[in-house]
């Protein structure tokens, strides 16, 4: 018995060929819980065969366990692949989409029927999740169903010794999908035109795997600005696709682990440190580059012809909306704004963005979990069947429980946007159908106004067939911590440090700098960052200068130096906000760590108004002088951490000390806060396990140095590796709290 992700990745044909190689007879079949093998033959050969299963398994297979038991009366004359027997044998593991493999790339040049065929694939590579309509994974249940295989492809599909044996999306120039210019000619005819347009500074819209992408030369500032204009995206960094690893190394610093990730079959966007600048507006001076390598055959085909070796490669959408995957929508949105629209006739069933990851302390941290990762399930070691977790509001992703694992949806986005909320509902519907999911309990955030909370309530009503489905609200920061506990299958109590921008607290205030003692059922708020007012509510998150005024007021700090960060803010606005603060007009309270980072970035005049989420904190982090070991004082009283002394220290340093040093000192202060509090918590509770989660821990300097400092004190430290530490991972935490409640 082989357990793990072993279906839809060419596992059975692999076993067949392996058995033949070792001269063994027997059978292989899919089952709900894995792949079952019956093998008979020489004992030594069986040993070697078992070893080879793990050594030589297909790239995208994830083997969790190989169990071996002896049976007495098994006889077979040859090796056979058995079909799945019944409905009960249905498979719920679906493979994510897999980047094109080297063998297929060489087929592009060699195989007569696949010369320059941009949809080449085999059992080891190609589209999976993005084209699946229903299970089991068979060609008729994918968007490949409308293409009738030609005799040559059919031959390959049925030949167990062929690399394309049972490769569901198998296709060739004679029978498969085709690229074409919208309103124009064949792709092969316009390939040179497309390449020319990019090299000459044009923007091209091309349908890829999970939707459309906008592409232009990454060294052309004008083109880059044009993409920003088209998307309505002012400053958020744009991903860059490089021709190969050597080119990436010209522009970025890449370590061994980052190289592995970039080249892996998942082919995510990897956030790297910038070495040499591309067009300025690509990353707006943030000092990092989101790099990705080609993953579709057509990527390789255009790089072969392009003069430039780096292109901006970004999802085609209007800022805040989901990726566009339909032709009509692509045309109506981008017509007249781009040089070309290139589409193809293989439909996208499950739209999906590129994933974004980074390496922290030589381990992967996922920032956006999508292509290549979804719908890989997360093993939990406990039954969670029937739990639907709605997720949070920003960077939403929801989660369903199947057997003992969690299946997290692809990155959905910010639900406040109407189109994105529609997309959310559509994807939920698809997941329910695809995975034959029946909700038994629904769990959502504690925030009454989150659209995901509203949706959950509606879902309860819709399912009112006599018996009421229970609904549970889970506190946001508790869910962050439990998401990390779930990944690590921790059941006992932990010290949870949950730092982020916003989350609804049990006292009705907005939390975000939280020290929790919790297990997977409940939590106790041990301590938190000081409450300060958010003048204007949510808008204070977009306009950090408001938070600066609030902190200054809160700690009675006089502005003894005229602060640069107010130079572009209207005096009357400043006056109004000050009045709001003094008279408590629309000033909800927050203990958010995100707002504190915002305010410090603003004080240093790095960002008075955020043009994208966490812009200020990201700029602050990018400036850190790592040789600076100093820090500022803070105070801790009555379970509250106060930053009055920290901020007055910063105010004293402004104009005297470099911004890089101030930034380092501030970060070191937060690390000291965590260190001191965690030690206090341990003293009171005796707990040694520390969980760090929440969007603020995407800050590499903060996370690495906090971990180092806590490791010195022999704490056991856990961080998110399989789901994002940001709100994209919340649903997993919600799911576990709900299953424990059941
Ligand atoms: Zn392949
Ligand atoms: Zn064919
Ligand atoms: Fe959060």
Question: Domain segments of the chain: what residues?
Answer: 2-81, 94-177, 179-344, 361-492+727-739, 498-719
- Residue 16 alpha carbon to ligand 2 centre in Å: 24
SS3 16: helix
| Percent of the chain with pLDDT strictly greater than 90 | 83
In this predicted structure, what is the pLDDT of residue 582? 95
SS3 258: helix
First to last CA, the chain: 30
- Residue 129 alpha carbon to ligand 3 centre in Å: 28
Tell me if 302 sits within 8 A of 196, measured CB to CB. Answer: no
Confidence of residue 275 (pLDDT cuts 50, 70, 90): very high
DSSP letters along 356-392, please? EEEEETTEEEEEE--TTTTT-EEE-SS--TTEEE---
In this predicted structure, what is the pLDDT of residue 89? 47
2-81 matches 94-177 in fold: no
- Residue 253 alpha carbon to ligand 1 centre in Å: 29
In this predicted structure, what is the pLDDT of residue 465? 66
Q: For the domain with range 2-81, which CATH number is right: 3.40.50.150, 3.40.50.2300, 3.30.70.100, 2.60.40.10?
A: 3.30.70.100
Q: Which CATH architecture has domain 498-719?
A: 2-Layer Sandwich (3.30)
Q: Which ligand has the shortest distance to the CA of 144? A: 2
The CATH code belonging to domain 179-344 is 3.90.870.10
pLDDT digits (tens, 9 = 90+) for 697-716: 999 999 999 999 999 999 99
Report whether pLDDT(183) > 80.
no
Q: Worst-scoring range by mean pLDDT, 64-73, 159-168, 621-630?
A: 64-73
Cis status of the peptide bond prior to 708, with omega within 30 of 0 = no
Q: What is the mean pLDDT of the chain?
A: 93
- Report the C-alpha dihedral over residues 435, 436, 437, 440, rounded to 10 degrees: -150
Report whether pLDDT(654) > 80.
yes
Distance CA 255, CA 275 (A): 13
pLDDT digits (tens, 9 = 90+) for 660-672: 999 999 999 999 9
In this predicted structure, what is the pLDDT of residue 71? 84
Distance CA 599, CA 546 (A): 8
Is the pLDDT higher at 182 or at 473?
A: 473
Tell me if 480 sits within 8 A of 716, measured CB to CB. Answer: no
Tell me if 357 sits within 8 A of 243, measured CB to CB. Answer: no
Report whether pLDDT(440) > 90.
yes
- Residue 124 alpha carbon to ligand 1 centre in Å: 5
Domain 94-177, CATH class in plain words: alpha beta
In this predicted structure, what is the pLDDT of residue 92? 65
- Residue 155 alpha carbon to ligand 2 centre in Å: 9
In this predicted structure, what is the pLDDT of residue 188? 66
- Residue 694 alpha carbon to ligand 3 centre in Å: 5
pLDDT digits (tens, 9 = 90+) for 545-556: 999 999 999 999
Report whether pLDDT(411) > 90.
yes
Which residues lie near ion ligand 1 (Cβ < 5 Å)?
101, 104, 122, 124-125
Confidence of residue 31 (pLDDT cuts 50, 70, 90): confident
What are the backbone angles phi and psi of residue 51, rounded to the nearest 5°?
A: -60, -45
In this predicted structure, what is the pLDDT of residue 75? 81
- Residue 105 alpha carbon to ligand 1 centre in Å: 7
- Residue 19 alpha carbon to ligand 2 centre in Å: 29
- Residue 53 alpha carbon to ligand 1 centre in Å: 19
pLDDT digits (tens, 9 = 90+) for 90-143: 556 789 999 999 999 999 999 999 999 999 999 999 999 999 998 878 899 999
- Residue 459 alpha carbon to ligand 3 centre in Å: 23
* pLDDT mean over 441-446: 97
Distance CA 731, CA 37 (A): 35
- Residue 480 alpha carbon to ligand 3 centre in Å: 7
- Residue 640 alpha carbon to ligand 3 centre in Å: 20
Q: Which ligand has the shortest distance to the CA of 155? A: 2
Report whether pLDDT(86) > 90.
no
Q: Which ligand has the shortest distance to the CA of 162? A: 1
In this predicted structure, what is the pLDDT of residue 526? 98
* pLDDT mean over 500-504: 97
Confidence of residue 468 (pLDDT cuts 50, 70, 90): confident
Q: Which ligand has the shortest distance to the CA of 164? A: 1
Confidence of residue 313 (pLDDT cuts 50, 70, 90): very high
Other CB atoms within 10 A of residue 255 CB: 12
Q: Is the pTM of this model over 0.85?
A: yes
- Residue 438 alpha carbon to ligand 2 centre in Å: 39
- Residue 106 alpha carbon to ligand 1 centre in Å: 9
In this predicted structure, what is the pLDDT of residue 137? 80
- Residue 729 alpha carbon to ligand 1 centre in Å: 31
Which residues lie near ion ligand 3 (Cβ < 5 Å)?
500, 503, 727
Distance CA 248, CA 449 (A): 44
Q: Which CATH architecture has domain 361-492+727-739?
A: 2-Layer Sandwich (3.30)
Report whether pLDDT(248) > 90.
yes
pLDDT digits (tens, 9 = 90+) for 38-58: 999 888 999 999 999 989 998
Confidence of residue 561 (pLDDT cuts 50, 70, 90): low
Q: Which of 465, 463, 681, 706 is nearest to 593 (CA)?
A: 706
Q: Worst-scoring range by mean pLDDT, 213-227, 313-327, 557-571?
A: 557-571
Distance CA 444, CA 503 (A): 12
């Amino acid at each position: 018995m082989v357990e793990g992700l072993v279906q839809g990745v060419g596992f059975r044909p692999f076993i067949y060929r392996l058995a033949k190689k070792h001269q063994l007879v027997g059978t292989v079949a899919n089952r709900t819980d894995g792949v079952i093998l019956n093998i008979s033959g020489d004992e030594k050969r069986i040993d070697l065969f078992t070893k080879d299963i793990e050594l030589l398994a297909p790239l995208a297979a994830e083997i969790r366990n190989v169990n071996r038991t002896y049976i007495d009366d098994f006889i077979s004359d040859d090796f056979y692949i058995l079909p799945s027997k019944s409905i009960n044998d249905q498979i719920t593991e679906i493979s994510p989409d897999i980047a094109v493999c080297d063998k297929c790339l060489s087929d592009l040049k060699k195989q007569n029927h696949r010369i320059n065929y941009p949809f080449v694939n085999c059992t080891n590579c190609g589209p999976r999740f993005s084209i699946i309509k229903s299970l089991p994974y068979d060609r008729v249940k994918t968007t490949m169903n409308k293409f009738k295989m030609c005799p040559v492809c059919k031959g390959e599909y049925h030949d167990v010794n062929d690399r394309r044996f049972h490769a569901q999306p198998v296709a060739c120039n004679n029978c498969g999908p085709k690229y074409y210019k919208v309103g124009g000619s064949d792709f092969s005819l316009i390939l040179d035109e497309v390449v020319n347009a990019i090299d000459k500074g044009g923007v091209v819209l091309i349908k890829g795997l999970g939707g459309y992408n906008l592409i232009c030369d990454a060294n052309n500032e004008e083109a880059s600005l044009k993409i920003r204009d088209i998307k309505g995206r002012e400053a958020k960094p744009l991903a860059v696709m490089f021709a190969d690893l050597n080119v990436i190394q010209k522009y970025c610093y890449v370590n061994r682990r980052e190289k592995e990730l970039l080249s892996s079959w998942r082919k995510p966007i990897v956030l790297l440190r910038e070495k040499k600048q591309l067009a300025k507006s690509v990353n707006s001076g943030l000092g990092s580059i989101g790099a990705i390598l080609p993953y579709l055959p057509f990527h390789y085909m255009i790089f072969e012809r392009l003069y430039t070796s780096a292109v901006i490669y970004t999802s085609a959408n209007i800022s805040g909306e989901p990726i566009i995957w339909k032709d009509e929508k692509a045309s109506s949105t981008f017509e007249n704004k781009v040089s070309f629209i290139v589409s193809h006739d293989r439909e996208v069933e499950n739209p999906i963005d590129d994933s974004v990851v980074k390496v922290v302390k030589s381990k992967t941290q996922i920032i956006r979990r999508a292509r290549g990762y979804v719908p890989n399930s997360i093993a939990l070691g406990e039954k969670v069947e029937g739990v639907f977790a709605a997720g949070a509001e920003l960077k939403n992703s929801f989660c369903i429980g199947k057997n003992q694992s969690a299946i997290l949806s692809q990155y959905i986005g910010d639900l406040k946007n109407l189109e994105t909320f529609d997309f959310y509902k559509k994807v939920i519907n698809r997941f329910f159908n695809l995975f034959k999911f029946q909700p038994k309990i629904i769990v959502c955030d504690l925030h009454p106004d989150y659209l995901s909370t509203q949706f959950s309530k509606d879902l309860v009503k819709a399912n009112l067939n006599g018996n009421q489905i229970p609904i549970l609200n889970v506190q946001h920061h508790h869910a962050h911590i439990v998401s990390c506990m779930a990944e690590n299958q921790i059941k006992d109590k932990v010290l949870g440090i949950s730092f982020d921008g916003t989350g609804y607290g049990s006292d009705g205030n907005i939390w975000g700098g939280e020290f929790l003692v919790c297990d997977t059922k409940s939590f106790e708020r041990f301590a938190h960052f000081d409450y300060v007012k958010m003048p204007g509510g949510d808008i204070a998150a977009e306009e950090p200068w408001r938070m600066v005024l609030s902190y200054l007021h809160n700690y009675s700090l006089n502005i003894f130096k005229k602060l640069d960060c107010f130079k572009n803010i209207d005096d009357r606005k400043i006056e109004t906000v000050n009045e709001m603060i003094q008279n408590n007009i629309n000033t909800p309270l927050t203990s958010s760590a995100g707002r504190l980072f915002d305010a410090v970035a603003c004080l240093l005049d790095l960002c008075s108004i955020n043009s994208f989420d966490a812009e200020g904190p990201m700029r602050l982090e990018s400036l850190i002088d790592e040789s600076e070991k100093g820090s500022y004082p803070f105070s801790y009283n009555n379970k509250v951490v106060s930053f009055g002394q920290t901020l007055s220290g910063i105010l004293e340093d402004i104009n005297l000390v470099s911004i890089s040093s101030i930034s380092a000192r501030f970060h070191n202060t937060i690390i000291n806060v965590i260190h001191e509090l965690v030690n206090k918590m341990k003293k009171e509770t005796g707990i040694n396990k520390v969980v760090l989660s929440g969007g603020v821990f995407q800050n590499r300097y903060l996370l690495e140095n906090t971990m180092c400092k806590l490791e010195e004190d022999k704490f056991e430290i856990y961080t998110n590796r399989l789901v994002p530490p940001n709100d994209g991972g919340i649903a997993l935490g919600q799911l576990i709290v709900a299953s424990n409640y059941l």
